[in-house]
Amino acid sequence: MERVQVLSLCLSVALIVFVLHLIRRRALREQYALLWLFFGLVMLVLSIKTSWLEWMAEAVNVFYAPSLLFLVGIVLCFLLILHLTVVVSKLTERIIVLTQEIGLIRNELEKHGQEKNG
């Protein structure tokens, strides 16, 4: 077993164990945990099944197959970052709407309070 394969295997297992730890502590929501577990499992499978990795490397003309494993990992991370950016953008819009609604409600409450006192 090559040193790079051992490293990628250890990193994949560490990622899966860490995600499971975050799930147990309820620090990571299930929808994101599933994505991270999926990415960890993909990396784990490609670390173990080197023949699949070598076949994929040959198919895309990559000379050193383990470098493809890290490329796959980086691409998966970029996809996850893109997904999280979309989620953050939607939440930012929702926060703006909620803040505006709270401002309107507060204004209405102040008007009713002045009408009762005045």
64 pLDDT tier (thresholds 50, 70, 90): confident
Do the Cβ atoms of 7 and 1 come closer than 8 Å?
no
Average pLDDT, the chain: 89
The tens digit of pLDDT for each residue in 82-97 reads 988 999 999 999 999 9
25: Cα separation from own chain's centroid: 17
Environment class of 51 (CB within 10 Å of its CB; exposed 0-12, middle 13-18, buried 19+):
exposed
pLDDT at 114 over 80: yes
Say how many domains are in the chain: 1
Q: How confident is the model at residue 118 (pLDDT cuts 50, 70, 90)?
A: low
pLDDT at residue number 24: 93
Of residues 85 and 1, the one with the higher pLDDT is 85
- Which residue range(s) make up the domain with 57? 3-117
The radius of gyration computed from the CA coordinates of the chain, to the nearest angstrom, equals 24
